[in-house]
Amino acid sequence: MGMGSVEHRNWKAIVAGVALAACAALAACKDPVETRREPAIGPKDRGLIAIKRAGCGSCHEIPGLDWPSGRLGPSLDGFDDVGLIAGQLPNRPDVLAAFIRNAPSVKEGSSMPPMPISEAEAADIAAYLYGLDHD
Amino acid sequence: MIDALWGWPPPVLDPAGPYSGKVTTLAWSLFGLGAFVTLVVVFALWVAIKGPDKWKAKLGGERAILLGGVAFPGVVLTALLVWGLTLTASLTEPIHGDEMRIRVTGEMWWFRVQYLDPSGAVVMEDANEIHIPVGRPVVLELESADVIHSFWVPHLSGKKDMIPGRRTLLRIEADRPGEFGGVCAEYCGRQHALMGFVAVAHEDDDFREWYAERNERLVSAGLDITRQVESSSGSGTQGSERSTVTRTGAGANTNSGQQSGRTLFMQSGCAACHRVAGTEANGLAGPDLTHVGSRRTLGAGILPNNRGTLIGWIGDSQSLKPGNRMPSYDMLNADELEAIAIWLEQQK
């Protein structure tokens, strides 16, 4: 009699365990990768992606980018607090975007070379740089 | 840059050719068998602790030990060993047909790439980028110039060590076109983590075109591809003097930076370590820059390749990859750096 009830409880425990494992397995089976939706990303995230793709870090230290951290150009840390862009241009998003794409065209003789990025990418990068608020 | 090429699914689970396919099949089989054995062991454990007495007795019996503890592992492990060893051997089989040959040499911290003709002579040199045709096995001859490195493009094959003083072989093959990231897979010093490359697989026609383009450039520079390469390993002067003349005019159609870019490259010492076929630059210590303008990456697979990153690398390589063997050329001014970069961009 006693024996029987102990075994009974054992089987219950096993059924519970199997059910638990099945739940865990189900939870692990997310949608296939292609059908999962990308989390919505804003201009700032796109800006950082564009920065990485273009390799701006090969001349600039850029917050949010661990590597590379070149020192040929000025650090872009705290860029929102910079007065004039490259010491000369008004610090406005449109000017910044234009400067990032083709510095010599907006600042005569600038030593930053034109970079291979689209206008949209430049705008995103500007949004990213302005978003680095340390105040 | 390398991260961008790896993506999801992880390349080890996303074979792009027959050799890597075999490795992935073996990996999944090991995983499956491992899972099965784990389940069996857990079940046996349960029987031993809480199972019915009749089962306990069976589990402790001689038969169970002989079957489950000796026969099963003996057979399975032996089979796996044979499978694993034959697979590994098949990845390193020497040439037996018309396979393409490429020699790749690991150097601290980049990959020297030499395309070989069937006789083993170097026909074209490059760095950190390997171009192969789709659907054809390629036999790589792996060497090292300094310490042990390991060559690994998970999409295309297994890993293989590059050992100083020895030549190892590795077969790779792609069955679809694409760009596949590769890395050094054996710790080799400070910048091991920044030592990568890109393998580019082309459809057959594209590959032929690519090859012809490169060849044509060398020929238009007055160079016979084979002779040039021979001369770089032997007495380099005669071949390169002839070509210098032809090359000056070849790309001299950009701005004024052009002429000085080339001159600066030669005068600033770049030529002592870098070779640009068809010019007097014949240095062999660093990566060959003959085709640097057409490469996808700089600094051994780590930076995108554009004018800005070229300038950044030349002027400040020690900030980007500290300890690498190229000094930062910060004694050059911005105009000079840009001029050199513009000239290098044209070396397709």
DSSP secondary structure, B302-328, as one string: TEE-SHHHHHHHHHHHHHHSTT-SSPP
Picking from A72, A76, A117 by the largest number of B CB atoms within 10 A of its own CB, the best residue to mutate is A72
Question: Do B186 and B245 fall into the same domain?
Answer: no
* pTM assigned to the model: 0.83
* pLDDT score at B114: 96
Asked which of A8-17, A121-130, B147-156, B232-241 is least confident by mean pLDDT, the reply is: B232-241
CA of B302: which chain A residue's CA is closest? Answer: A68
Which residues of A fall within a CB distance of 8 Å from B306? Answer: 54-55, 115-116
Question: For the packed helices B53-60 and B18-50, what is the interaxial angle rounded to 10 degrees?
Answer: 120
Residue B168 contacts residue B161 (beta carbons within 8 Å): yes
Q: Give the nearest partner residue to B312 out of A33, A72, A116, using CB atoms.
A: A72
Q: CB distance from B320 to chain A under 8 Å?
A: yes
The CATH number for B175's domain is 2.60.40.420
- Between strands B168-172 and B297-298, the pairing is unpaired
Average pLDDT in chain B = 88
Q: Is residue B330 part of a domain?
A: yes
pLDDT higher than threshold 60 for residue B224: no
Question: Do B43 and B145 fall into the same domain?
Answer: no
Query: What order do you get walking across the sheet with B196-202 strand by strand?
Result: B129-133, B196-202, B178-184, B149-152, B160-162
CA distance B200 to B197: 10
Q: ∠B100-B210-B224 over CA atoms, to 5°? A: 80
Report the gap between the CA of B208 and the closest CA in chain A (Å).
28
How would residue A44 be classed by pLDDT, with cut points 50, 70 and 90? confident
Of B90, B119, B154, the last residue of a domain is B90
pLDDT higher than threshold 80 for residue B241: no
At B321-332, the pLDDT tens digits run 999 999 999 999
Of B178, B209, B240, the last residue of a domain is B209
Q: Is B323 left (phi over 0), alpha (psi -120 to 50) or beta?
A: left
Percentage with pLDDT > 70 across chain B: 87
Residue B259 contacts residue B266 (beta carbons within 8 Å): no
Q: Is residue B4 part of a domain?
A: no
At A51-88, the pLDDT tens digits run 999 999 999 999 999 999 999 999 998 887 778 999 89
Question: Do B232 and B314 fall into the same domain?
Answer: yes
Question: Do B259 and B161 fall into the same domain?
Answer: no
Question: Do B110 and B73 fall into the same domain?
Answer: no
pLDDT higher than threshold 50 for residue B243: no
Burial A18-55 (b: 16+ CB within 10 A, else e): eeeeeeeeeeeeeeeeeeeeeeeeeebbbbbbbbbebb
Question: Do B104 and B83 fall into the same domain?
Answer: no
For B19-153, where are the E strands, in sequence order? 100-107, 110-116, 122-127, 129-133, 138-144, 149-152
Instruction: Please indicate whether, in this complex, the C-beta atoms of B335 and A111 are within 8 angstroms of each other.
Output: yes
Which residues of B fall within a CB distance of 8 Å from A56? Answer: 308
Of B66, B90, B114, the last residue of a domain is B90
pLDDT higher than threshold 50 for residue B249: no
Q: Is residue B163 part of a domain?
A: yes
Question: Do B187 and B105 fall into the same domain?
Answer: yes
Q: Give the nearest partner residue to A55 out of B9, B52, B304, using CB atoms.
A: B304
Residue B148 contacts residue B162 (beta carbons within 8 Å): yes
Instruction: Please indicate whether, in this complex, the C-beta atoms of A10 and B50 are within 8 angstroms of each other.
Output: yes
CA distance B253 to B308: 21
Instruction: Please indicate whether, in this complex, the C-beta atoms of A68 and B319 are within 8 angstroms of each other.
Output: yes
Q: Is residue B166 part of a domain?
A: yes
Which residue is associated with the tokens 């006693």?
A2
Q: CB distance from A104 to chain B under 8 Å?
A: no
Q: Is residue B221 part of a domain?
A: no
In the three-class reduction of DSSP (H, G, I as helix; E, B as strand; rest coil), residue A60 is classed as coil
Percentage with pLDDT > 90 across chain B: 75
Question: Do B86 and B104 fall into the same domain?
Answer: no
Picking from B320, B337, B343 by the largest number of A CB atoms within 10 A of its own CB, the best residue to mutate is B320
* pLDDT score at A45: 87
Smallest CA-to-CA distance from B175 within B27, B22, B28, B30 is with: B22
Q: Give the nearest partner residue to B304 out of A10, A53, A114, using CB atoms.
A: A53
What single string gives the DSSP state of each residue in B27-54? Answer: HHHHHHHHHHHHHHHHHHHHHHHHS-HH
At B22-64, the pLDDT tens digits run 999 999 999 999 999 999 999 999 999 999 999 998 888 899 8
Residue B292: which domain range? 226-345
Domain count, chain B: 3
Q: Give the nearest partner residue to B306 out of A70, A71, A115, using CB atoms.
A: A115
Report the gap between the CA of B135 and the closest CA in chain A (Å).
27
Which residues of A fall within a CB distance of 8 Å from B304? Answer: 53-55
CA of A49: which chain B residue's CA is closest? Answer: B4
Q: Is residue B134 part of a domain?
A: yes
Q: CB distance from A114 to chain B under 8 Å?
A: yes
Instruction: Please indicate whether, in this complex, the C-beta atoms of A112 and B309 are within 8 angstroms of each other.
Output: no
B253 against A11, higher pLDDT: A11
CA distance B48 to B159: 42
* pLDDT score at A81: 78
Residues 43-82, chain B: which have Cβ within 8 Å of A?
A: 50, 52
CA of B308: which chain A residue's CA is closest? Answer: A113
Instruction: Please indicate whether, in this complex, the C-beta atoms of A68 and B8 are within 8 angstroms of each other.
Output: no
Smallest CA-to-CA distance from B256 within B339, B345, B344 is with: B339
At B142-163, the pLDDT tens digits run 999 999 999 999 999 999 999 9
Question: Do B134 and B157 fall into the same domain?
Answer: yes
In the three-class reduction of DSSP (H, G, I as helix; E, B as strand; rest coil), residue B256 is classed as coil
Smallest CA-to-CA distance from B100 within B19, B170, B164 is with: B170
pLDDT higher than threshold 90 for residue B240: no
Instruction: Please indicate whether, in this complex, the C-beta atoms of A112 and B308 are within 8 angstroms of each other.
Output: yes
Mean pLDDT of B196-202: 96
Average pLDDT in chain A = 80
- Kindly report the backbone phi and psi dihedral angles of residue B150, in degrees, each rounded to the nearest multiple of 5, phi listed first: -140, 135
